[in-house]
Structure 1
Amino acid sequence: MRAYWQLTLAQLRIFARNKQVLFFTLLFPIILMLALGTFAGNGNNLSLSVGLIDSDQSDASKNLAERFYKNDGLETITFKNVKSGKEALKNGDIQLFMEIPKGYEAKLEEQNEPSTLSVYYNEKNLTTSELGLTVVNGIIDQYSKDLADYKPVVTVEKVGIKALTIRYVDFLVPGIVAMMIMSNNMNGVAGQISAWRERGILRRMQGTRLKASTFIAAQITARLLLNGTQALLVVLIAHFVFSIHVAGSWLALIFFIILGTLAFMALGFIIAGIAKNPESAGPIAGFITFPMLFLGGVFFPINNMPDIIQPIVKILPIAHLSSALRETMNLGTPFLQLWTETLILGCWLIGGFIVASYVFKWE
């Protein structure tokens, strides 16, 4: 037990002395979180902007224009002429451009034929344009019904239900934590153990009475303390910067941080065992971690990925770690309901250490 604590403290001192590595392993996830969270943190909100020009300047045209200005779903921008409005539409500054033509009120009073309003849209952005046209048609339709004093036979009762609103930054932060745990443990363990083997440190340890289990247990404890502290620090920074709140249990969050750390440490020991030197350990770890960044739901939802790769995605440890962290932080899902994530991460943990015990080499 004394050797275990001495090795643990020695490993923590190594981490503390290597301030450059310690700084950048923590700094990169924080910078990535701040950058993506700042630029796309409120990406769930869709802004529709409509350009409007009133060429008639009559009471009827002003009444119609007022309906657009008062609509909360649209940002209505006034233009002085048609040319500037069309130019803004081409540049993507607005999604739609509408002109109330000169003589609109006079034609409305004649009532011989319906008045026509020209609405220009961007053909290269049909999704947003179609949504904007739907909103505009709804406003015009209601305006026409009010003018004709139309009484509908069937009406719709609007009943609002308060639902959980999750911003992109809420989705992102658990993924960043999972990414940091994966990178620190797979790349860090593989690189350090390979370097120690090449320098003969592991061979000298093997020549002592030190047991392999004691050495591995000390490595695990030191990295649990380091990575757990870093992960919780990222969550706290996200709380103060983006108002991220942990909806579920902090104990469940800590549990999954520990479980994820152990699972990826096991993979790190496997890489350290098969890598011939520190120079090859890094590329091998990168070859494995890089695809998991995009397939494991770190930045994008797993459900949006093609069906052909869904079976592969659903067995990746990073996917289940990201899912467990999101369920705990964003939805407050009880720990017992996350048994699937716990089981799969546990299988990676046990299976990884079993494989590592066969491929790990002291020399």
Structure 2
Amino acid sequence: MSDSLRRIGALFHARNLEFVRDRAALAWNLLVPLLLVLGFSLIFSGNQRPLLQLGVVGPLPPAYQALETIPQLRLVEYESLASAQRKVRHHQLDLLLNPAGGNYWVNPDSPGGGLAEYLLKGHSLTPLVRDTLPGQAIRYGDWLLPGVIGMNLMFSGLFGVGYVIVRYRKNGVLKRLRATPLSAAEFLCAQLLSRLAITLVVSLLVFLVAHWLLGAPLLGSGWLLLLIALLGGAAMASLGLLVAARLQNEELASGLLNLISLPMMFLSGVWFSLEGAPAWLQGVADRLPLTQIIAAARAVMLEGAGWQEVASPLAQIALFTLVCVTLGAALFRWNAT
């Protein structure tokens, strides 16, 4: 057992040194996420939204359909009352209608809330009871930060494990390692642990810089956020391991990894929400591991969610990791043949 741990430790140390000495990879993992968050924070630092947004709990009754004719007003239907109320608190909705309950909610600190309330009262609709939901506005940069960290976990795990293993196989490194006492399980364990350590350090640095310089919020537990990053990094690294289990062509590996990563990047809510997308597309996106990672991180950072609120996505991420590691280890070959 001690010999096995020494072999894993030696390979873990060697892989970390290889990463640190690769200046291009180091700069990409550290600087690009920070520059993305900083750039988008500056671009969207003002109030760029041109429309008033009103939420409606459930379907819109005929008595309120006159609202749809108001210029520069967008109506968004919600099935979940709690989700819609959070958006009012964070100034992402100017007003929330609840026709079934006979009331509406408005954030008294929202710049558009008063105007939305004035338009509502001026259309001779069924009277509603006014309630308030105070809360802090969430800037686009704050909303983007968990997505950028999740995207960095994805690319770092897929290419830092998958592409590297394929390169090792093509260059004959795996063939030489096979001649040593190192077992396949030890090699894979060292690769996964190395990538997890790197992604955790990078994610922590990105978050701390954004927190200190840009004032990015953390309303929930920092330890819970760290656990999400740990499980997310493990999930992406295990997926990279599964892709690279037998491949020996770097071009094919790069193509497959991009084929996996690009759809996840656009469908998992890194840059924008899919609330207005077709239901079937939202259903597909909800099952992607990156979606679970980002949703859990945003819930902890922006909504103060605790362990119970993120237990379901964390369980799905852990199950996905277990399946990928099991299949990747079973399919792994030192040589291509």
TM-score by length of structure 2 reads 0.74
Which residue is 2:72 aligned to?
Answer: 127
Q: Paired residue for 2:244, among 255, 265, 272?
A: 272
Q: Please give the per-residue CA displacement for 1:1-23, whole angstroms capped at 9, x wherever unaligned.
A: 11111111111110111111111
**Is 1:342 the counterpart of 2:314 in the alignment?**
yes
One-letter amino acid of the structure 1 residue matched with residue 30 of structure 2: L
Contact 1:187 1:286 in 2 (8 A): no
**What's the % identity of the aligned pairs?**
27
Q: Paired residue for 1:12, among 8, 11, 16?
A: 16
Distance 1:41 1:336 in 2: 33
Distance 2:132 2:156 in 1: 45
Q: CA deviation at 1:180?
A: 0.2
32-41 vs 157-166, which moves further = 157-166
Q: Paired residue for 1:287, among 259, 265, 269?
A: 259
Q: Please give the per-residue CA displacement for 1:152-200, whole angstroms capped at 9, x wherever unaligned.
A: xxx9986643134322222100000000000111122111111110111
The 3-state SS of whatever aligns with 1:14 is: helix
Contact 1:44 1:167 in 2 (8 A): no
Which residue is 2:329 aligned to?
Answer: 357
Which residue is 1:63 aligned to?
Answer: none
One-letter amino acid of the structure 1 residue matched with residue 11 of structure 2: L
One-letter amino acid of the structure 1 residue matched with residue 21 of structure 2: R
One-letter amino acid of the structure 2 residue matched with residue 180 of structure 1: N
Q: Paired residue for 1:208, among 173, 180, 197?
A: 180
Distance 2:51 2:277 in 1: 26
Residues 24, 135 of structure 1: alpha-carbon distance in 2 compared, 3 angstrom cutoff? closer
Q: Paired residue for 2:305, among 333, 351, 359?
A: 333
Q: Paired residue for 2:151, among 166, 171, 179?
A: 179
**Is 1:312 the counterpart of 2:276 in the alignment?**
no
Which residue is 1:62 aligned to?
Answer: none
CA RMSD in angstroms, aligned pairs only: 3.1
Which residue is 1:168 aligned to?
Answer: 140
Taking the TM superposition and a 5 Å limit, the aligned residue runs for 1:122-271 are: 126-127=71-72, 160-271=132-243
The 3-state SS of whatever aligns with 1:185 is: helix
Larger Rg: 1
Distance 2:175 2:30 in 1: 31
The 3-state SS of whatever aligns with 1:273 is: coil
Number of residue pairs the alignment of both structures matches: 274
Which residue is 2:35 aligned to?
Answer: 31
Contact 2:50 2:72 in 1 (8 A): no
The answer for unaligned runs of 5 or more in structure 2 is: 53-69, 75-93, 95-111
Q: CA deviation at 1:279?
A: 2.0
Residues 179, 42 of structure 1: alpha-carbon distance in 2 compared, 3 angstrom cutoff? farther
Residues 312, 161 of structure 1: alpha-carbon distance in 2 compared, 3 angstrom cutoff? closer
Q: CA deviation at 1:336?
A: 2.5
